[in-house]
Amino acid sequence: MPENSFKKVRTRIAPSPTGNLHLGTVRTALYNLLYAKCHDGDFLFRLEDTDRERSTEEFTNEILDGFEWLNISWDDPSSEDAPEGATMTGLVEDNIIKQSQREAIHKNYIQKLLDEGKAYRCFATKEELDALRAQQQANKEITRYDNRSRSVSKEESDKLAEEGKAFVVRLNLGTDRDITWNDLVRGEMSINTKDLGGDPVIQKSSGQVLYNFAVVVDDFAMQISHIFRGEDHLSNTAKQIAIYNALGFSVPEFGHLPLIFTQDKQKLSKRKHGDIASVNTYKKQGYLPEALVNYLVATSYTDETIGEVFTVDEAADEFEIDDISKSPAIYDIKKLNWFNREYISKLDYSDILSFCKDFSKYLLANTKYDGDKIKLMLEGVQDSIDKFEQIDTHIGYFFEDFTVINEKEIKTLEEGKQIIEKILILIDHDGINFDEPASFKTGLDTIGKILKLSGKKLFMPVRIAISGKTSGPDLGLIAHLIGKEKIIERLRIAVAEAVKTA
C-alpha cells in the first residue's frame, strides 16, 4: 500500500451524465481500475449528476450501458473503515453512488465551513464582477475575483442573507501560497493560490453545491485513496486539496493522465470531433469491447512484459504507474482497427457468426449457402475485418454480382485477359475440380507457367474477375463457394469488359 493514511487502495470513476460516454472517461476508469486491482483494492463508481440542467436520464443510461458493454464493473462502496462522518447516502442499485442524493450532506459541510469562518458568503453582483473583470482587462491584468467579500463581517453577512440578498459561498484560500502534491504520474506539482482565479465558489446562488466541493465530500465518504483523472483537472486538484484541508480530511493521492488528442493535435472532443469521441459509436460499428479496452489502455501505457495485446487482468498483474506515458495520447483509428482485427481473429466461429449476423443483410436473407459454406466464407474473411459493420463489403460478392468500375482494376483485367481466357478453357476441359479448393490454384499455376507469370500478375486479374476485389480469401476457396457456373459467368463478363475497354 503506497504511503498515505488510507487503510486500503480505493479508486473511482465519477462521470457526469451531461454527455455521451467519452473514450477519455473509459480510459480514466481503466487506469483507476487497474491500479485498484493491482493493489487488491476497490474500484468504485459515482454518478456526478448534480448539474440538474445538463444531466439527463438518457446520458446516464448510455454511460451505464457503455460500461456494461465494456465489461467494466465496480465494487461495493460500503466500507468498514469508513471514518466518522462518512456516509454512504446515495448508494443505489448496482453499487452506484448518486451524487445528487447527497446534496444535504454537501450542504452540511458547506455550513460547517461557514460556521468555522473557512468559507464566506459573497454578495457581489454580476454587474460588480463584470466591472471588476473589465477593469482588470483594461489594466492588462489576469482576471480573477479579488476576494472582496472576505472582509464582510459575520453580522453583516448574516443580516444580508436574512434580508434575502443573493449570494454564493466561497472558500477562503487565505494568503497566497503554493499548493503542492506529489503527482503519481507527473511528479512534484505546485500551483499558487493566486493562480486559481480568486477564492473559489463552492455553492452557487441557487444553492447548488459545485463540483469541486461535492467531489471532496464524496471522495472522503467513499474513502478514495487514489484519484487518477485527466490533466485538465490540475487546477481543480489544487482547489480540492484546499477543500480537503479546510474540512480536515485526509488528502488522497492524485495522478493526472495525459489527455487524448487527435492527429492534428486537438483535444478529442464531441464538439470538435463528433461521434468518434463516444463509446457508443464503436459499439454500433461492431468493435469488440475487449479490443477497445486494450486499445484505450495501450494509448498511454507500455509494459514490455505484457506486450501490446492484453486483457485487463493481465495488465492489472503488472500495472506500474511509471509505465504511463506523460505525453498526450494520440487517437489513432488504424491502431484501434489493428487491435480489433487481433481480437476478431481469435474469436470462436460461433461468436464470429453471431456478430456477423448482427451486421449483415446478406446473412440475414441467406438462402444460397449452407452452414458449412458460411463457415468457410466467414473464416476466410475473419482476419481482414476491421469491424463487423464492414462484413457485407467483405462477403457481398458471394451473394451478388458486381461491376468493376475502378480504372486501375479495369486495367488489370485488360492486362490479364489472356490468363482469364486460359482459365476458362481449363474449366471447359474439366481441368478444375470446384469441390476441391486447391485445384483452382493448381490450374492457375499451370497457366502461370505457360504464360511465364506468377504472383500478383497472375492472380490479381482472376481475383478481380471473380470477386470484384483486390484482396480477400484464397481464390480456390472463393471458386469453391461460388461454384462453377457463376465463376464461368464472371470470368466471361471480365473478358468482355476487358475487350470493351481495350
Residues near ligand GLU (CB under 6 A) are 14-16, 48, 215, 229, 233
The nearest distance, CB 229 to ligand GLU, in angstroms, is 4
Q: Can you tell me the distance from the alpha carbon of 344 to that of 339, in angstroms, rounded to the nearest whole number?
A: 9
The nearest distance, CB 59 to ligand GLU, in angstroms, is 11
The nearest distance, CB 212 to ligand GLU, in angstroms, is 9
The nearest distance, CB 436 to ligand GLU, in angstroms, is 60
Which of residues 233 and 422 has its CB atom nearest to ligand GLU in the complex? 233
Query: Alpha carbon of 56 to those of 51, 53, 61, 66, 176: distances in Å?
Result: 9, 8, 9, 15, 39
Which of residues 15 and 289 has its CB atom nearest to ligand GLU in the complex? 15
Bridge partners, 261 (sequence order): 267, 330
Which of residues 170 and 233 has its CB atom nearest to ligand GLU in the complex? 233
Which of residues 215 and 298 has its CB atom nearest to ligand GLU in the complex? 215
Query: Got the DSSP string for 452-502?
Result: T--HHHHHHHHHHHHHS-SS-S-HHHHHHHH-HHHHHHHHHHHHHHHHHH-
Which ranges in 75-169 belong to alpha helices (H)?
103-115, 126-138, 154-163
- What b/e sequence results for 215-242 when a residue is b if at least 16 CB atoms lie within 10 Å of its CB, and e otherwise? bbbbbbbbbbbbbbbbbebeebbbbbbb
Which of residues 16 and 412 has its CB atom nearest to ligand GLU in the complex? 16
- The closest of 393, 344, 354, 389 to 374, measured between CA atoms, is 354
Which of residues 227 and 462 has its CB atom nearest to ligand GLU in the complex? 227
The nearest distance, CB 29 to ligand GLU, in angstroms, is 10
Secondary structure (3-state) at 411: helix
The nearest distance, CB 234 to ligand GLU, in angstroms, is 11
Which of residues 56 and 125 has its CB atom nearest to ligand GLU in the complex? 56
Cβ-proximal residues to 171 (8 Å cutoff; 6+ apart), any chain: 113, 118, 119, 199, 200, 202, 213, 239, 242, 243, 246
Secondary structure (3-state) at 311: coil
The nearest distance, CB 16 to ligand GLU, in angstroms, is 4
